[in-house]
Amino acid sequence: MRNRYTLMRHGESLANRKGLIISAPHNALHGYGLTARGADQVINTAVKSRANSDTLIVSSDYLRARETAEIVHSVLACETQIVLEERLRERNFGDWELKDHRHYENVWCNDLSRPEQSTNNVETVYETLSRAQSLIDDLEQRYHDESILLVSHGDVLQILLAHYHHLNPRFHRSLSSIGNAELRSLAKLELAVKPSAA
């Protein structure tokens, strides 16, 4: 690729703390931002990262991601303004909105068995990948030799990682889960593949 991409999941959010699924714009754009612990996680990650002020930050516009991007931007003293991007929003979890986070398992089981079929109005893995990939395609056209930090959400980033490491995106949960405020390179697989449950 023309640019270097690093993925970052937002820090711990109020949704994480409460164990809720929050993916709809009317809930996530202005609510369920970072906890104090989440902000500290982001600061620690930014300080320990190898990123510098030349980093271009492109972030989901959901509050928890936006606050994460703003903290990183401040710590690194980035020279370029943050780019807010709807295509990095959380995967739409449909009817599971505001429900207990244990329902993610229902979604991930469906990803494996019926990846092209939306159940409970959930955005499919292929729909999620399509919008995220369209953003990267646009960034590749617009920039050259840039270090770009993509700040987003767990499933979006897992699905992107799976795709770029030649896994069918339906198997995105076979990769180690990306933790809050964790960085991953899109260019190399820095994570262990979980063993099968067989």
Is residue 138 in a domain?
A: yes
CATH of the domain at 86: 3.40.50.1240
pLDDT tens digits for range 104-148 = 999 999 999 999 999 999 999 999 999 999 999 999 999 999 999
Report yes or no on 193 lying in a domain.
no
Q: Is 195 part of a structural domain of the chain?
A: no
Mean pLDDT of the chain: 93
Q: Does 180 map to a domain?
A: yes
In angstroms, the CA 4 to CA 15 distance is: 30
Summarised one tens digit per residue, pLDDT across range 21-30 is 999 999 999 9
Question: Domain total for the chain?
Answer: 1
Query: In this structure, is residue 11 part of a structural domain?
Result: yes
Determine the structural domain holding residue 62 and report its residue range. 4-185
How far is 118 from 130, CA to CA, in rounded Å? Answer: 15
The answer to whether residue 198 sits within a structural domain is no
Q: What is the pTM of this model?
A: 0.93
